[in-house]
Amino acid sequence: MPLSELPPRGSRFGSPLVLSRVHWVRPEMVLPFFKRMESYAGEGDDAFRGREGPLRVTNPEPRDPLFATISRR
């Protein structure tokens, strides 16, 4: 449902399914933006990982206390 259309009658905001469609984005549409943003410092498929972006992304080290706390749950 385009944003220019009014929600269906009988409800103030329309059904949840109609509203969620407005916010859904296909992954292939946003992947290029994520790849340009990240600088991934681990092994991985370059089809899904950026290497030269401004945001440094790494995998957590198992010896990191925060990682150990989260992974115990």
**Residues 12-70: pLDDT tens digits?**
555 555 555 555 677 888 999 999 999 998 888 899 999 999 999 988 777 778 877 88
HSE (CB half, 13 Å, CA atoms) of 25? 7
- pLDDT for residue 14: 52
Q: Output 26 or 7, whichever has higher pLDDT.
A: 26
Architecture per CATH, 27-71: Orthogonal Bundle (1.10)
What is the enclosing helix (H) or strand (E) of 29?
helix 27-37
- pLDDT for residue 69: 81
Domain chopping of the chain, boundaries? 27-71
Where does the chain show beta strands of DSSP type E?
Answer: 38-40, 55-57
> What is d(CA 37, CA 52) in angstroms, rounded to the nearest whole number?
8
- pLDDT for residue 2: 63
pTM of the model: 0.51
